[in-house]
Structure 1
Protein backbone atom coordinates (compact mmCIF):
# COMPACT_ATOMS: atom_id res chain seq x y z
CA UNK A 1 0.00 0.00 0.00
CA UNK A 2 1.69 3.17 -1.25
CA UNK A 3 0.22 6.43 0.02
CA UNK A 4 0.73 9.35 -2.32
CA UNK A 5 -0.86 12.65 -3.28
CA UNK A 6 -3.76 12.24 -5.66
CA UNK A 7 -5.36 14.99 -7.70
CA UNK A 8 -9.10 14.65 -8.23
CA UNK A 9 -11.05 16.69 -10.75
CA UNK A 10 -14.75 16.79 -9.88
CA UNK A 11 -17.51 18.35 -11.97
CA UNK A 12 -20.56 19.33 -9.93
CA UNK A 13 -23.85 21.09 -10.45
CA UNK A 14 -23.34 24.60 -9.15
CA UNK A 15 -25.77 24.51 -6.23
CA UNK A 16 -25.47 25.43 -2.58
CA UNK A 17 -24.27 22.70 -0.24
CA UNK A 18 -22.28 20.67 -2.79
CA UNK A 19 -18.89 21.60 -1.38
CA UNK A 20 -20.15 21.03 2.16
CA UNK A 21 -21.32 17.50 1.27
CA UNK A 22 -17.98 16.70 -0.37
CA UNK A 23 -15.91 17.98 2.54
CA UNK A 24 -18.22 16.14 4.95
CA UNK A 25 -17.63 12.89 3.08
CA UNK A 26 -13.88 13.35 3.34
CA UNK A 27 -14.07 14.31 7.03
CA UNK A 28 -16.20 11.26 7.90
CA UNK A 29 -13.60 9.03 6.25
CA UNK A 30 -10.73 10.78 8.06
CA UNK A 31 -9.16 12.38 4.98
CA UNK A 32 -7.65 15.82 4.86
CA UNK A 33 -8.06 17.80 1.66
CA UNK A 34 -4.58 19.33 1.20
CA UNK A 35 -5.48 21.62 -1.68
CA UNK A 36 -8.86 22.78 -2.93
CA UNK A 37 -9.85 25.06 -5.80
CA UNK A 38 -13.40 25.65 -6.99
CA UNK A 39 -14.61 27.71 -9.90
CA UNK A 40 -17.00 27.81 -12.84
CA UNK A 41 -16.43 25.14 -15.50
CA UNK A 42 -17.00 25.31 -19.24
CA UNK A 43 -20.79 24.86 -18.97
CA UNK A 44 -23.08 27.30 -17.22
CA UNK A 45 -24.36 25.91 -13.93
CA UNK A 46 -21.39 23.53 -13.56
CA UNK A 47 -18.33 24.03 -11.35
CA UNK A 48 -14.99 22.25 -11.38
CA UNK A 49 -13.46 21.27 -8.06
CA UNK A 50 -9.79 20.33 -8.11
CA UNK A 51 -8.52 18.77 -4.90
CA UNK A 52 -5.37 17.11 -3.66
CA UNK A 53 -5.73 14.26 -1.18
CA UNK A 54 -3.29 11.72 0.29
CA UNK A 55 -4.16 8.04 -0.06
CA UNK A 56 -3.37 4.77 -1.74
CA UNK A 57 -4.96 3.83 -5.09
CA UNK A 58 -7.58 1.55 -3.52
CA UNK A 59 -8.71 4.17 -1.01
CA UNK A 60 -8.94 6.88 -3.67
CA UNK A 61 -11.00 4.51 -5.82
CA UNK A 62 -13.39 4.00 -2.88
CA UNK A 63 -13.61 7.77 -2.29
CA UNK A 64 -14.41 8.25 -5.98
CA UNK A 65 -17.28 5.74 -5.72
CA UNK A 66 -18.55 7.50 -2.60
CA UNK A 67 -18.40 10.88 -4.35
CA UNK A 68 -20.59 9.56 -7.17
CA UNK A 69 -23.26 8.68 -4.58
CA UNK A 70 -23.57 12.32 -3.54
CA UNK A 71 -26.24 14.56 -5.05
CA UNK A 72 -25.07 17.02 -7.73
CA UNK A 73 -21.85 15.13 -8.67
CA UNK A 74 -21.51 14.89 -12.46
CA UNK A 75 -18.01 13.48 -12.97
CA UNK A 76 -15.07 12.41 -10.81
CA UNK A 77 -11.65 11.77 -12.32
CA UNK A 78 -8.37 10.86 -10.62
CA UNK A 79 -5.94 12.75 -12.83
CA UNK A 80 -2.84 11.97 -10.77
CA UNK A 81 -1.11 9.86 -13.42
CA UNK A 82 -2.60 11.54 -16.48
CA UNK A 83 -0.58 14.24 -18.29
CA UNK A 84 -2.01 17.57 -17.13
CA UNK A 85 -1.33 21.26 -17.05
CA UNK A 86 -1.19 22.26 -13.38
CA UNK A 87 -1.05 25.77 -11.98
CA UNK A 88 -1.19 27.55 -8.65
CA UNK A 89 -1.09 31.20 -7.69
CA UNK A 90 0.87 32.47 -4.70
CA UNK A 91 1.07 35.95 -3.22
CA UNK A 92 4.07 36.51 -0.92
CA UNK A 93 4.82 39.51 1.25
CA UNK A 94 8.57 39.64 1.73
CA UNK A 95 10.69 41.84 3.94
CA UNK A 96 12.71 43.83 1.42
CA UNK A 97 15.15 46.26 2.92
CA UNK A 98 17.27 48.34 0.54
CA UNK A 99 20.31 46.05 0.88
CA UNK A 100 18.28 42.92 -0.09
CA UNK A 101 15.76 44.32 -2.52
CA UNK A 102 17.81 43.74 -5.69
CA UNK A 103 18.45 40.09 -4.72
CA UNK A 104 14.73 39.53 -4.13
CA UNK A 105 13.87 41.19 -7.44
CA UNK A 106 16.43 39.00 -9.24
CA UNK A 107 14.83 35.85 -7.79
CA UNK A 108 11.37 37.14 -8.73
CA UNK A 109 12.58 37.81 -12.27
CA UNK A 110 14.06 34.31 -12.64
CA UNK A 111 10.71 32.80 -11.60
CA UNK A 112 8.75 35.23 -13.78
CA UNK A 113 6.99 36.58 -10.71
CA UNK A 114 5.31 39.99 -10.75
CA UNK A 115 5.80 42.66 -8.13
CA UNK A 116 2.23 43.73 -7.30
CA UNK A 117 2.95 46.02 -4.35
CA UNK A 118 5.96 47.81 -2.94
CA UNK A 119 6.71 49.86 0.16
CA UNK A 120 9.86 50.93 1.98
CA UNK A 121 10.18 47.64 3.84
CA UNK A 122 8.10 45.11 1.90
CA UNK A 123 7.40 43.67 -1.53
CA UNK A 124 4.37 41.64 -2.48
CA UNK A 125 5.00 39.33 -5.40
CA UNK A 126 2.63 37.20 -7.44
CA UNK A 127 3.88 33.84 -8.71
CA UNK A 128 1.98 31.56 -11.06
CA UNK A 129 3.11 28.11 -12.08
CA UNK A 130 3.24 24.45 -11.23
CA UNK A 131 3.36 23.41 -7.56
CA UNK A 132 7.10 22.65 -7.73
CA UNK A 133 7.83 26.22 -8.80
CA UNK A 134 5.93 27.50 -5.76
CA UNK A 135 8.03 25.42 -3.38
CA UNK A 136 11.28 26.42 -5.08
CA UNK A 137 10.69 30.18 -4.93
CA UNK A 138 9.45 29.97 -1.35
CA UNK A 139 12.62 28.17 -0.29
CA UNK A 140 14.80 30.82 -1.92
CA UNK A 141 12.89 33.76 -0.45
CA UNK A 142 12.69 32.39 3.13
CA UNK A 143 16.15 33.79 3.89
CA UNK A 144 14.87 37.35 3.34
CA UNK A 145 11.86 36.98 5.62
CA UNK A 146 8.50 35.92 4.22
CA UNK A 147 5.92 37.81 6.27
CA UNK A 148 2.73 36.37 4.74
CA UNK A 149 1.74 33.84 2.09
CA UNK A 150 -1.62 33.34 0.39
CA UNK A 151 -1.71 30.31 -1.90
CA UNK A 152 -4.53 29.05 -4.08
CA UNK A 153 -5.23 25.40 -4.48
CA UNK A 154 -3.89 23.60 -7.51
CA UNK A 155 -5.98 23.79 -10.66
CA UNK A 156 -5.46 21.25 -13.40
CA UNK A 157 -6.72 20.26 -16.84
CA UNK A 158 -5.89 17.06 -18.70
CA UNK A 159 -3.61 17.53 -21.71
CA UNK A 160 -5.38 16.36 -24.86
CA UNK A 161 -1.97 15.79 -26.45
CA UNK A 162 -1.33 13.17 -23.74
CA UNK A 163 2.26 14.45 -23.45
CA UNK A 164 3.77 14.43 -19.98
CA UNK A 165 6.04 17.39 -19.26
CA UNK A 166 7.97 15.27 -16.73
CA UNK A 167 8.88 12.82 -19.50
CA UNK A 168 9.80 15.72 -21.81
CA UNK A 169 12.02 17.29 -19.15
CA UNK A 170 13.88 14.02 -18.69
CA UNK A 171 14.17 13.19 -22.40
CA UNK A 172 15.35 16.69 -23.30
CA UNK A 173 17.76 16.79 -20.37
CA UNK A 174 18.79 13.25 -19.33
CA UNK A 175 21.85 14.39 -17.37
CA UNK A 176 19.73 16.86 -15.36
CA UNK A 177 22.65 19.34 -15.47
CA UNK A 178 20.48 22.29 -16.45
CA UNK A 179 16.87 23.30 -16.05
CA UNK A 180 14.46 23.16 -18.95
CA UNK A 181 11.30 25.24 -18.51
CA UNK A 182 8.26 24.10 -20.42
Structure 2
Protein backbone atom coordinates (compact mmCIF):
# COMPACT_ATOMS: atom_id res chain seq x y z
CA UNK A 1 0.00 0.00 0.00
CA UNK A 2 1.16 3.53 -0.70
CA UNK A 3 1.23 5.92 2.25
CA UNK A 4 1.15 9.70 2.12
CA UNK A 5 3.30 11.07 4.93
CA UNK A 6 3.35 14.73 5.94
CA UNK A 7 6.33 15.94 7.96
CA UNK A 8 6.74 19.37 9.55
CA UNK A 9 10.41 20.20 9.95
CA UNK A 10 12.40 23.24 11.06
CA UNK A 11 14.20 25.02 8.22
CA UNK A 12 17.76 23.98 8.95
CA UNK A 13 20.63 23.03 6.68
CA UNK A 14 20.70 19.26 6.18
CA UNK A 15 17.17 18.52 7.47
CA UNK A 16 16.01 17.09 4.14
CA UNK A 17 19.22 15.08 3.82
CA UNK A 18 18.70 13.50 7.24
CA UNK A 19 15.11 12.56 6.40
CA UNK A 20 15.87 11.09 2.98
CA UNK A 21 18.91 9.33 4.44
CA UNK A 22 16.68 7.64 7.01
CA UNK A 23 14.43 6.37 4.21
CA UNK A 24 17.42 5.10 2.23
CA UNK A 25 18.93 3.29 5.24
CA UNK A 26 15.59 1.58 5.87
CA UNK A 27 15.30 0.55 2.21
CA UNK A 28 12.25 2.70 1.43
CA UNK A 29 11.75 4.25 -1.96
CA UNK A 30 10.22 7.73 -1.95
CA UNK A 31 7.90 7.75 -4.97
CA UNK A 32 6.94 11.39 -4.61
CA UNK A 33 8.47 14.24 -2.62
CA UNK A 34 7.25 17.83 -2.34
CA UNK A 35 8.81 20.38 0.00
CA UNK A 36 7.76 23.94 0.67
CA UNK A 37 7.19 26.53 3.37
CA UNK A 38 4.49 25.72 5.91
CA UNK A 39 2.07 28.08 7.64
CA UNK A 40 4.64 29.04 10.30
CA UNK A 41 7.80 30.99 9.48
CA UNK A 42 10.94 28.85 9.71
CA UNK A 43 9.04 25.59 9.20
CA UNK A 44 8.69 23.50 6.03
CA UNK A 45 6.22 20.78 5.11
CA UNK A 46 7.46 17.66 3.36
CA UNK A 47 4.85 15.49 1.69
CA UNK A 48 6.07 12.06 0.67
CA UNK A 49 4.44 9.07 -0.99
CA UNK A 50 6.05 5.86 0.23
CA UNK A 51 5.11 2.23 -0.42
CA UNK A 52 4.96 -0.06 2.60
CA UNK A 53 2.74 -1.89 5.04
CA UNK A 54 1.24 -0.26 8.12
CA UNK A 55 3.79 -1.76 10.50
CA UNK A 56 6.78 -0.55 8.48
CA UNK A 57 5.32 2.96 8.16
CA UNK A 58 4.67 3.04 11.91
CA UNK A 59 8.33 2.19 12.57
CA UNK A 60 9.43 4.79 10.04
CA UNK A 61 7.28 7.40 11.78
CA UNK A 62 8.91 6.62 15.12
CA UNK A 63 12.35 6.96 13.53
CA UNK A 64 11.41 10.31 11.97
CA UNK A 65 10.43 11.69 15.37
CA UNK A 66 13.93 10.85 16.62
CA UNK A 67 15.52 13.13 14.02
CA UNK A 68 16.60 16.62 14.95
CA UNK A 69 14.35 19.36 13.56
CA UNK A 70 11.31 17.09 12.97
CA UNK A 71 8.27 18.70 14.62
CA UNK A 72 5.33 16.57 13.48
CA UNK A 73 4.76 13.43 11.40
CA UNK A 74 1.34 12.46 10.07
CA UNK A 75 0.31 9.49 7.93
CA UNK A 76 -2.52 10.87 5.80
CA UNK A 77 -3.26 7.59 4.02
CA UNK A 78 -6.42 6.76 5.98
CA UNK A 79 -7.35 10.37 6.72
CA UNK A 80 -9.85 12.31 4.59
CA UNK A 81 -7.65 14.84 2.83
CA UNK A 82 -7.27 17.20 -0.11
CA UNK A 83 -4.60 16.04 -2.56
CA UNK A 84 -3.19 17.96 -5.51
CA UNK A 85 -0.39 17.71 -7.99
CA UNK A 86 0.85 19.97 -10.78
CA UNK A 87 1.95 18.71 -14.18
CA UNK A 88 3.34 20.52 -17.20
CA UNK A 89 2.95 18.51 -20.40
CA UNK A 90 4.29 19.36 -23.85
CA UNK A 91 2.21 17.66 -26.56
CA UNK A 92 2.76 17.46 -30.32
CA UNK A 93 0.12 19.65 -31.96
CA UNK A 94 -0.21 20.17 -35.68
CA UNK A 95 -2.69 22.64 -37.12
CA UNK A 96 -5.00 19.67 -37.73
CA UNK A 97 -4.89 18.36 -34.13
CA UNK A 98 -4.48 21.58 -32.13
CA UNK A 99 -8.19 22.29 -31.63
CA UNK A 100 -8.91 18.68 -30.59
CA UNK A 101 -6.11 18.79 -27.99
CA UNK A 102 -7.44 22.08 -26.63
CA UNK A 103 -10.98 20.68 -26.39
CA UNK A 104 -9.76 17.56 -24.57
CA UNK A 105 -7.63 19.64 -22.20
CA UNK A 106 -10.65 21.79 -21.30
CA UNK A 107 -12.49 18.69 -20.09
CA UNK A 108 -9.69 18.25 -17.53
CA UNK A 109 -9.59 21.99 -16.76
CA UNK A 110 -6.04 22.11 -18.06
CA UNK A 111 -4.68 25.45 -19.25
CA UNK A 112 -2.61 26.07 -22.35
CA UNK A 113 0.45 27.94 -21.07
CA UNK A 114 2.60 27.94 -24.22
CA UNK A 115 1.99 27.54 -27.94
CA UNK A 116 4.70 26.51 -30.37
CA UNK A 117 4.61 25.93 -34.12
CA UNK A 118 4.15 22.20 -33.60
CA UNK A 119 3.40 21.81 -29.88
CA UNK A 120 1.22 22.91 -26.97
CA UNK A 121 2.31 23.08 -23.35
CA UNK A 122 -0.46 22.36 -20.86
CA UNK A 123 -0.71 23.01 -17.13
CA UNK A 124 -2.78 20.42 -15.28
CA UNK A 125 -3.67 20.67 -11.59
CA UNK A 126 -5.57 18.00 -9.69
CA UNK A 127 -5.41 14.66 -7.99
CA UNK A 128 -2.84 12.11 -9.21
CA UNK A 129 -5.54 10.07 -10.99
CA UNK A 130 -6.39 13.07 -13.15
CA UNK A 131 -2.72 13.29 -14.20
CA UNK A 132 -2.69 9.68 -15.37
CA UNK A 133 -6.00 10.06 -17.21
CA UNK A 134 -5.02 13.11 -19.25
CA UNK A 135 -1.60 11.65 -19.99
CA UNK A 136 -3.18 8.47 -21.38
CA UNK A 137 -5.72 10.44 -23.40
CA UNK A 138 -3.16 12.77 -25.00
CA UNK A 139 -0.48 10.13 -25.58
CA UNK A 140 -1.91 9.36 -29.03
CA UNK A 141 -0.79 12.84 -30.18
CA UNK A 142 2.73 12.24 -28.90
CA UNK A 143 3.98 13.58 -25.60
CA UNK A 144 7.31 15.36 -25.86
CA UNK A 145 7.99 16.19 -22.23
CA UNK A 146 6.38 15.93 -18.81
CA UNK A 147 7.35 17.60 -15.54
CA UNK A 148 5.36 16.76 -12.39
CA UNK A 149 5.54 18.05 -8.87
CA UNK A 150 5.12 15.62 -6.05
CA UNK A 151 1.74 15.14 -4.46
CA UNK A 152 0.83 17.65 -1.76
CA UNK A 153 -1.84 16.88 0.78
CA UNK A 154 -3.62 18.39 3.78
CA UNK A 155 -6.12 16.71 6.09
CA UNK A 156 -9.72 17.83 5.60
CA UNK A 157 -10.96 19.77 8.61
CA UNK A 158 -14.50 18.86 7.66
CA UNK A 159 -13.63 15.17 7.92
CA UNK A 160 -15.55 14.50 4.70
CA UNK A 161 -14.03 11.58 2.83
CA UNK A 162 -14.43 12.49 -0.84
CA UNK A 163 -13.16 9.08 -1.97
CA UNK A 164 -16.04 7.48 -0.04
CA UNK A 165 -18.51 9.91 -1.63
CA UNK A 166 -17.17 9.16 -5.13
CA UNK A 167 -17.61 5.43 -4.49
CA UNK A 168 -21.21 5.99 -3.36
CA UNK A 169 -22.00 8.10 -6.45
CA UNK A 170 -20.58 5.39 -8.70
CA UNK A 171 -23.00 2.85 -7.20
CA UNK A 172 -26.01 5.04 -7.97
Q: Is TM (by shorter chain) over 0.5?
A: yes
Aligned counterpart, 1:178: none
Query: Which runs of 5 or more structure 1 residues have no equivalent in the other structure?
Result: 176-182
Question: CA offset at residue 59 of structure 1?
Answer: 0.2
Q: Which residue of 61, 64, 68 maps to 1:67? A: 64
| Equivalent-residue separation in structure 1 for 2:155 and 2:88 (angstroms) | 25
| Equivalent-residue separation in structure 2 for 1:146 and 1:30 (angstroms) | 33
Q: Which residue of 105, 109, 115 maps to 2:106? A: 109
1:17 aligns with 2:14: yes
Question: CA offset at residue 169 of structure 1?
Answer: 1.4
1:44 aligns with 2:9: no
SS of alignment partner, residue 33 of structure 1: coil
SS of alignment partner, residue 138 of structure 1: helix
Question: CA offset at residue 167 of structure 1?
Answer: 1.3
| Equivalent-residue separation in structure 2 for 1:16 and 1:141 (angstroms) | 41
Aligned counterpart, 1:80: 77
Q: TM-score, normalised by structure 1?
A: 0.93
SS of alignment partner, residue 135 of structure 2: helix
Instruction: Output the aligned Cα RMSD.
Output: 0.8
| Equivalent-residue separation in structure 1 for 2:95 and 2:27 (angstroms) | 47
Aligned counterpart, 1:144: 141
Query: Which runs of 5 or more structure 2 residues have no equivalent in the other structure?
Result: none
Question: CA offset at residue 173 of structure 1?
Answer: 3.6
Measured against aligned partners, the alpha-carbon deviations of 1:114-164 in whole angstroms (never above 9, x if no partner) come to 000001101000000011101100010111111000000000000011001
Q: TM-score, normalised by structure 2?
A: 0.98
Structure 1 runs of 4+ with >6 Å offset: none
| Equivalent-residue separation in structure 2 for 1:169 and 1:70 (angstroms) | 38
